[in-house]
Structures are given as structure tokens and as C-alpha cells.
Amino acid sequence: MAWKIALSHSRFACVESEDSPIAVLGVPFDATSTFRPGSRYAPSRIREASCNLELYSLLAQVILEDIGFKDYGDIVLPPGDVAEALAKIEFVLKNVSREHTGLLLILGGEHSITYPAARALRNHVDTLIVFDAHLDARSEYLGSSLNHATFLRKLVNEGFKVVHIGSRAYSKEELEYMSSTDVKVVSAVDLSNKVSNIERLGLGDLGSVYISIDMDVFDPSIAPGVSNPEPFGLDHRLFLWALKSVFERSSDVIALDIVEVNPLVDVGGITSVLAAKIAIEASGLYLKLKSSRGIK
């Protein structure tokens, strides 16, 4: 193939299976980080954490030990050129998606990687679900129009249907922009007010989805190891409930990325462990969805 990955020292969950319906790809990119860089180290740390967790999905009640994961390793990215790096991420993901037709777990990296990833998979995606403290809908940030704070605006402008969950940090520009779009924004406050009634979240039928999870959607007391922490975030209960709701309202889940884990500021590695646990839970929910909907 014309694209290149690097073999990781460990595979996700340390249970490798070429026939697994769940694939893993690392994207060690943080070139546009503006507060605390270091998320490029997250794919390896999340893999390490995953090897020390039990492979059982509590939400789905599914055992993953005999399923395993097909781990493609990490993309080798060119240093110093953001546009070229993002173009390569898109190119690699297009190729991976042709080879793998199940769930693709993408381990970032900063949140800008969702831009090329979603573009690569757009022919298979009806709705982009974003869990994030921030809207990332600026037209530019610190003189750049291609970074972690602008990527979602680009995707919305390119026609993606977006549901944004867990936000609590807005700029004036972003609020004005979002009010002019069809993006459904469920803030952290909205989510906590609606948790008692699953129907009140109002997601509707989502079709085939891509889920992007920025780990700063959690409160910093739960996930301190992120590049842009924001107080008053989600707790485990709210997040798991919302994630399960998304799966229940989807006809298929094409991909799920986990971004903005920053091992350089992660106290005790707890954010990497949480990210790995989320990947395992999402894998279980995917297998349950596949079984119930007859997805091949």
C-alpha cells in the first residue's frame, strides 16, 4: 500500500485479532495545540492502559476477550506541516476504511484530527456526534484557520450534520455562528437536567454515526490529563448514559475517536485509563448494536 503506519510496541488491550470487527489506529498529532501540548503521546499510553483492564463492557454486558482488536499501529506524520499532516491522516483513513468495514477506534492526538477523519469517512456517516467542553467553531484562532479550535466549523460548513454534547465553554463568535446553523447543542447543564428521562435528550434517529470524544468533556477532577481543561464537566454517569443513548439511536457506528488525552499532565495516568475504558465500553456497545441490528 502507498500509506504507512508504524508498528506500536503494544497492541490495544494486548489481544490481537486480524479477524476482529474492531480496528484501532493511532494518530499521534498535536502540532496546533495552544495551551498544553503532549497529546501526541496519548496513543501509546492509552494502549498501555488498555492492556491492564478487563475486557468486559459493563454497559453492553459483552465479553471482548475472544473478539480482540485489529491494531494498525500509528500513522507516521510529517513534522512541521499541519496541512500536509491532516491530508495524510485523511488519506490513510480512506485506505483503512476500504480494508476494514467494522468499527474503527481512532486514538488521538488533538481534536483537529477529527476534521480529516470525518472527511475520509463522510460517505458512510449520517451524523457526527461530538462530546466536548468546547464548540471548536471559531473561524480562526491565534491567526490560524486550521487548528483544534476551528475544525468543527469547517465540518459544519462542508455539510456535516452535527450533534454536540457536553459543552460549557463558548466564545461570542461561536455562539453567533452556532445560532445560524442546524447544529444541535446539548450543553453540560442541559444534559444534567435531562438525565432522568432518556427520551428528553431529543437525539432522534441518528442513522450511521461517527462519534468524537474530547476527553475535556469530563470535569478536570475526573480527567486532569487533557490539553485544555474546563471546569464543571461531565461525570462518569452522565457520559455513559449519553454514550449509550447515542448507540441506541444509531443504525450503525462507523468510527469513534478519543482525543486530547495529554500524558504529560496526566496525574497517575488516570485519564489514559479512562480513555481506554471508554474504548472498551464503546466496543461492547458496538458489538451489541451489531447483534441487534444485524450489521455485517
Joined together, the cell numbers standing for residue 187 give: 450543553
- 106 beta partners: 25, 257
- CB-CB contact of 270 with 225 (8 Å): yes
Task: Give how many domains the chain has, as a whole number.
Answer: 1
Compute φ and ψ for 163, nearest 5 degrees.
-120, 125
Burial group, residue 199, by CB count within 10 angstroms (0-12, 13-18, 19+)? exposed
Predicted confidence at residue 295, as pLDDT, reads 58
**CATH code of 25's domain:** 3.40.800.10
User: Residue 13's closest CA among 83, 70, 96?
Assistant: 70
Burial group, residue 172, by CB count within 10 angstroms (0-12, 13-18, 19+)? exposed
User: Residue 49 contacts by C-beta under 8 Å, 6 or more apart in sequence?
Assistant: 269, 272, 273, 275, 276
Tell me how far the alpha carbon of residue 190 is from its chain's centroid: 21
Parent domain of 244: 5-293
ω before 233 within 30° of 0 (cis)? no
Cα–Cα distance for residue pair 12/15, rounded to 1 Å: 7
Output Rg (C-alpha) for the chain, integer angstroms: 17
Cα–Cα distance for residue pair 47/106, rounded to 1 Å: 12
Cα–Cα distance for residue pair 62/120, rounded to 1 Å: 29
Helix (H, G, I), strand (E, B) or coil at 5: strand
What letters, b where the CB count within 10 A reaches 16 and e where it falls short, cover 256-291?
Answer: bbbbbbbbebbeebebbbbbbbbbbbbbbbbbbbbe
Helix then strand then coil, % of the chain, to nearest 5: 40, 25, 40
Q: What beta strand segments (E) does the chain contain?
A: 5-6, 22-27, 56-57, 62-63, 70-75, 103-108, 127-131, 162-167, 184-187, 207-214, 250-259
Instruction: List the chain pLDDT tens, one digit each, 296 residues.
Output: 344 455 445 799 999 999 999 999 999 999 889 889 999 999 999 999 999 999 999 999 999 999 999 999 999 998 889 999 999 999 999 999 999 999 999 999 999 999 999 999 999 999 999 999 999 999 988 777 788 989 999 999 999 999 999 999 999 999 999 999 999 999 999 888 765 555 556 788 999 999 999 999 999 999 999 999 999 999 998 999 999 999 999 999 999 999 999 999 999 999 999 999 999 999 999 999 999 876 55
Cα–Cα distance for residue pair 236/204, rounded to 1 Å: 23
